[in-house]
Amino acid sequence: MNVFPSLVANKILFLAIMIISSSVLLSTPAHSIYGGSASISAPNVVTITKEHADGNRYGGCSGALLSARVVVTAAHCVTESETGLLAKSIWVSPPGARWKDHEESGKKWRILENATSAAESRAIYEKYKAISVQLTSSYYSSSSIVEDNDIAFLVIENSLPVTTPITLASDQETEDFIERETTARLYGYGQTEFQGASSKVPMTTTMDFAFKSTTVANSAYLVSSTSSACPGDSGGPVIVSTPTRLYLVGVISGGPDATTGPSCSAKVSGNFYTLITLVTKYSNLAFQAATFAASSSEENKSKLNAETISAKSAQTKAESEAKAAKDAQTKAESEAKAAKDAQTKAESEAKAAKDAQTKAESEAKAAKDAQTKAESEAKGANEALAKSEAAYKAAAESNTALSTEIENLRKELSNLSSQVTSLKTIQVNNDKLVKKLATICKAKPKPKGC
């Protein structure tokens, strides 16, 4: 089979170096496979996040969950690109995790889909921190190309669910897959096209085994006319399936050309090529990782037992203290109730006293008002009496004057009567005289003067 010239002259540039690193504090998941499709079920693919010496966190790689606490990925995914040293901290996401864009405090993040904040997203994946990293002693990562033995086995702090077990392919099985150009399925969180749009879900595609690499130890090439791995798919699982078993044959590590890099959207000689690191030669690392996981599990179990006993003792003490506190609380509540009852009674008595005082003040006011009224009426009566007495005195004085006047009038009347009597006498005399004169004047001759 023909091997393109660049494979002979150069080593293969690994995928993660082509990712433009972002100095965000929260890992952004790698993007995804070119020409692939969203995986409905990706039970073994995870994202890898690492913290560098500068304190920043970077995503950009994928991994394969082998067991509840063992993850395999590309070695360059867990080392710093500048120094080649292991990253300060490494975390793994839950398998098949989905991500979303999120804006918070004026910053844009990529967080887990089931989280509501950057902090909550971190809290989820930080539970799966790598506590052990198994690499070969001959792996170097100080260059910008894929090195030999580009594989790492991680032991994580807590267990992840393994819903679909996978088996490491043996030497013979791997040789058979390569010889028969078997179709393998790739999973990853890489770009959907070179330096293109990102995917927030794990992607998958199929490629066929082509040939072993002549320049990178324990590596082989996959070939496809329609799809390939992209930057960010590094460390993702390469699986061959049979009706009864899934074989992990390797992890994605690079692209087709050390000069141009993993141009996953460009073909070489009419095809796409993806470099993978075969796992068959690293079963010792897998065993060490599994042993460490088991050992740490036992240690954790012993520690957990001790912590359980301590916690139980603490719980018993806490329960005793809680009971004492509850009793004290009950007593305090009882005393508080008694005090409240006494206060209620005192308030009731105070209210009754206040009501009585109010009533007494009301009655006193009414009495005062009645007294004021009586005094006012008495004053009015005195004034009326004084007025009456004055009127009586005036009337008496007037009566005396009137009596005097009456007496005077009586005297005047008596005089007038006397005068009238005199006048009547005079009138009688006059009448007699007139008659006499008339008699005289009747004589003839009339006397002188008639």
Cis amide bond preceding 445, omega within 30: yes
User: Which residues contact residue 327 at a Cβ distance below 8 angstroms, ignoring those fewer than 6 apart?
Assistant: none
Q: Can you give the pLDDT at residue 311?
A: 60
Among the residue ranges 14-23, 69-78, 183-192, 214-223, the one predicted with the least confidence is 14-23
Q: Are 239 and 41 in contact (CB under 8 A)?
A: no
What CATH fold (topology level) applies to the domain 6-278?
Answer: Thrombin, subunit H (2.40.10)
Does residue 14 surpass a pLDDT of 50?
no
Q: Pairing state of beta strands 152-156 and 130-134?
A: antiparallel
Q: Using one digit for the tens of pLDDT, what is the confidence trace for 400-435?
A: 888 888 888 888 888 888 888 888 888 888 888 778
In terms of average pLDDT, the best of 22-31, 183-192, 194-203 is 183-192
Tokens 């209620």, residue located: 344
Averaged pLDDT, 356-374: 87
Q: Give the position of tokens 């990253």.
A: 87
pLDDT-above-70 percentage for the chain: 82
Whether the pLDDT of residue 205 is over 80: the answer is: yes
Q: What is the pLDDT of residue 36?
A: 67
The answer, yes or no, to whether residue 27 has pLDDT greater than 80, is no
Computed over its alpha carbons, how large is the radius of gyration of the chain? 64
Q: Please, are residues 178 and 220 in contact by the beta-carbon 8 Å criterion? A: yes
**What's residue 170's pLDDT?**
92
307 pLDDT band, cuts 50/70/90, is: low
User: What's the pLDDT at 254?
Assistant: 84
Mean pLDDT of 210-221: 91
Does 435 or 204 have the greater pLDDT score? 204
Range ranked top by mean pLDDT from 120-129, 388-397, 440-449: 120-129
pLDDT of residue 448: 74
Count CB neighbours of 284 within 10 A.
11
The verdict on pTM exceeding 0.75 is no
Provide, for the chain, the percentages of residues in helix, strand and coil under a 3-state DSSP scheme, each rounded to the nearest 5.
Answer: 45, 25, 35
Per DSSP bridges, beta strands 167-168 and 246-254 are: parallel
- Better pLDDT: 95 or 424: 95
Predicted local confidence at residue 310, as pLDDT: 64
Contact 189, 62 (CB under 8 A): yes
Q: Could you read off the pLDDT of 246-277 as tens digits, one per residue? A: 999 999 988 876 434 455 767 888 898 999 99
Furthest CA-CA distance within the chain? 219
DSSP state of 188: E
Residue with tokens 């954790």: 300
Please tell me which residue, 223 or 383, carries the higher pLDDT value. 223
Rounded-to-integer distance, Cα 209 and Cα 221, Å: 6
Q: For residue 174, what pLDDT is reported?
A: 94
Query: What percentage of residues in the chain have a pLDDT greater than 90?
Result: 18
Q: Looking at residue 417, what is its pLDDT? A: 82
For 110-158, how does the pLDDT look when each residue is reduced to its tens digit (9 = 90+)? 888 888 998 998 899 899 999 888 888 888 876 667 888 899 999 898 9
Q: How many CA atoms lie within 13 A of 282 on its CB side?
A: 31
Q: Scanning the structure block, which residue is given the tokens 């959907």?
A: 192
d(CA 128, CA 95): 11
Tokens for 399, please give them.
Answer: 């009566």
Confidence of residue 21 (pLDDT cuts 50, 70, 90): very low
CB 112 within 8 A of CB 121: yes
Q: Mean pLDDT across the chain, nearest whole number?
A: 79
Q: What is the per-residue pLDDT for 19?
A: 31
Higher pLDDT pick, 143 / 327: 327
